[in-house]
Each structure stands twice: as structure tokens, then as C-alpha cells.
Amino acid sequence: MFERYKIIQRFKDYYPNNLESVNFARVVAVYLYETTTKAIAKRIIFSLFFTTKNEILGDIESPWLLVYSVKGKKRADYDDTFHKITKLFPEKYCTLVTTNKPSPLFFLKLLRHLPAAYRETDSTLFTRLDRISIVLLIAKLKYEYHNAVNLKILDRKQGLLTFCDAMPIDNLLTQIAKKRHIKTITNQHGQYRVLSNSNMSQDAEVYANFISDRIFCWGNATKHEFLKAGFKHEQLIITGKISSIGTSSKRESTSANSFGILFNGENSKHANFTLLKAASKLAESTGRTFYIRMHPDNTPEEYKPEALEHCVGIGFFDDNEYLDLVQFSLGHMTGAIVDLLRNEHRVYLYDDGRLADVFKVKDLHFTSIDEIIEDIKNSNSTINRLKAREIYSWFNDDSRQYEAIFAEITTK
């Protein structure tokens, strides 16, 4: 996967000038990581037979455009983040909501864009079938570019706020906006981390594809990662996690004799099976049972056969429900730890050799299950409250959320 990452970045770096003055390699980058025949076939079908539905809400003459391009993922946490942003937003705005919908004849609209897309796709970087899928993707996004220009959605705008620069429509509109000298801001929607050869996935595009003037960061952990990736201090605005979902108040630790596993998203699913094996050993050694808290992208049926006899529940638990069930948690690379740490909940991050550096925080990450078992047997599973607050603040500092957003939005 790391080699593929390097190829994608090379594709961006050497993407040729074109009529639209848009780097379409950036626009489609997040789609290009998987190279299986099935993944390539999915790209081809998506390009040929799906169109983008654009829904504009509010007064199109408003000075700011807010883009929500992930409604189709049906993620309650994403919906909540965007809703909270609109509640905090200090200027007049209109909203562009985009979703993908089937369109059997959509491929006819790609025909005029295919020759340019073919010329702009480097044949030396990709296999023939892979290149065909990328050419079709770029032709599709060229059509979306001209559609956006024709809709005049960025005309007379002072600012653009997107959900994530890694998303194709977000990246496309940000490139258009920057060429028009419109202020651009994007938003953090998970715990971002710089990835390496051991843990590379398409999640790297949250920083590799960051092109906005600013990003609203959860905390110094993310800011540190972006500085490490080569970005500047002034681009990184700490707002804290923009969300209204979470526990309503601090909660006392449950007396339950169970612990929980926090699953990664599907881009790091390899670690979920490692966590299951580790959890079984932990359960046997401590006489406990465990629950599995799924990531919103997970498919429960895929993991049930692996759960073994110590697992007593598996599901998409919300924070309050989950904290009532478990005494502590075992995790890997997931932003779910943020709201749990807010409640001074004990979290053990298991470093299987693929844990990103941002999670390697003292008293949070452990390099072996035996270390975790020893800590639990020494009755340390109720983490020191001062230490919990310190770790939480490193990942999430929302102490001046409204002030930070207001200052950034209202500054020309």
C-alpha cells in the first residue's frame, strides 16, 4: 500500500496543465488506493453509471458556501458535525449538499471529456485496466467541474468551508475557489495521523490532499501531525471536535466485569482481528468478558465468527450505552477514544507494530498485552483523572471553539 501511496503522490506532482486549470489527480486520489480487480471494476461502474446530485439550500447570494459531500455515507457523526458547524457559523451562508445517484445513461456525458482525461493520465504509472478506471474517473470529475461552474455556486463568494479536502467534490471546489482568491477552510472529522509503510491507507489523503487555506483541528495532536507533514502553524486552527454527540456529563466508572474493544474503520481493519486475539487473551487472564464497539464503517457479520466465547455483545453503541457496559477499553487507531477520555475512561491502545505515532502517548499505548494485563491486575484500570484530562486535552481542546471559529470566518 505504501508503494501505491507514493505512485498517487507522484501522479499529483506531475499532473499536466489542462483547460480547467485543475489538478484532477488530487480530486480522484482518495479513490485510487485499492488495486484489486474488484476495486477497479467498482471505479469503472461508479464513473459510468453514477451522477452527482447537487442540492443548494439557502440564499445562493450568501457570502459563504458550506459543502456537505458525505451525506450519502449515512453517518450520524458526520451529520452531527456539519449540523453543529452551521449552528456555530457567524456569517450568512448557503449550503451545497451532494449525493451520488444511479444514472444508466450518465456515461454519455463523459464522452467529450475522455480524450483530455486520457492525455492527462500517465501511462507509465498504472496498468492498462487501472489506467482505464482512472481516465473514466477524471472524465467524470471534469464533467462535475463544468457543472459546478455552470451552476455558479462560487460566484461572488467570500469563503468556502468543506467537510474534508480528501473528498473529490470538496477538493474540486477548493481548487476552483483558490484560483478565484476565495478563502478556503476544511474540517477535521476523525483523529488524523501521519501514516507510514506499516499502516498506510487512503486515510493519508486527509493530509496529503490538504489544500485549503485553513483546517479546523481538534487539538494539538492533529496540529503536530500536520506540522510533521510540512504544513504551517497559521494553517492549523484549533477549535476542538465540532460535535454535539457525546456523553452529557462526566460519568463514574461502571462496576461491570466487562471491557470493550474499539474497532478501527475499514481502512485499518487488519488491526481489528489483532484486537480480537488480544482481547481473548486479556479476557482469559483477567476473568472478564468483552463487548465489541463497531466503527460506523464496519460490517458486524464479518467479525462475529471471530469473536469467540468471551464476547458478550457486538454493536454500534453510543457513548452513554457503551460506558454503562464496560470498565475499560482496548483499542488501536480510532478517534473514538476522544469522547471516552473526556469521561476519564481508561483506554489501552495496543501497539501491534502498526500504531501511528500520534497515538503513542505515555500511559495510553502499550506494546504488549502482557503489559496491559499487568496494569489491570495492579488496579490501574481507573486512570488517574489528572492524567486523563491531560491526554484528552492533547487530542481535543474545545475550550475556545466558538471564538476560534468566529475569528477565522470573520477575518478576510
Domain ranges (residues) in the chain: 2-241+405-410, 258-395
What's the rounded Cα separation, in Å, for the pair 381 and 401? Answer: 31
What's the rounded Cα separation, in Å, for the pair 247 and 339? Answer: 8
- Dihedral in degrees, nearest 10, Cα atoms 49, 168, 206, 356: 10
Write down the pLDDT at residue 252. 56
What number of other Cβ atoms are within 10 A of residue 270's Cβ? Answer: 13
Write down the pLDDT at residue 248. 47
pLDDT less than 70: residues of the chain = 245-255, 305-307, 379-384
Cell numbers 451520488 correspond to what residue? 100
DSSP state, 295? -
According to DSSP, the residues that pair with 67 across neighbouring strands are 96
What number of other Cβ atoms are within 10 A of residue 73's Cβ? Answer: 12
CATH number of 2-241+405-410: 3.40.50
Identify the three-state secondary structure at position 262.
strand
What number of other Cβ atoms are within 10 A of residue 137's Cβ? Answer: 23
Q: What whole-number percentage of the chain has pLDDT above 70?
A: 95
User: 258-395 is classed in which CATH architecture?
Assistant: 3-Layer(aba) Sandwich (3.40)
Write down the pLDDT at residue 244. 84
Write down the pLDDT at residue 247. 45
**In this structure, what C-alpha cell is assigned to residue 37?**
480487480
Identify the three-state secondary structure at position 108.
helix
CA dist list (Å): 145 to 139, 152, 170, 172, 372: 10, 11, 11, 7, 51
Are the CB atoms for 315 and 300 separated by under 8 Å?
yes
What's the rounded Cα separation, in Å, for the pair 397 and 310? Answer: 36
Gap between the terminal Cα atoms of the chain: 40
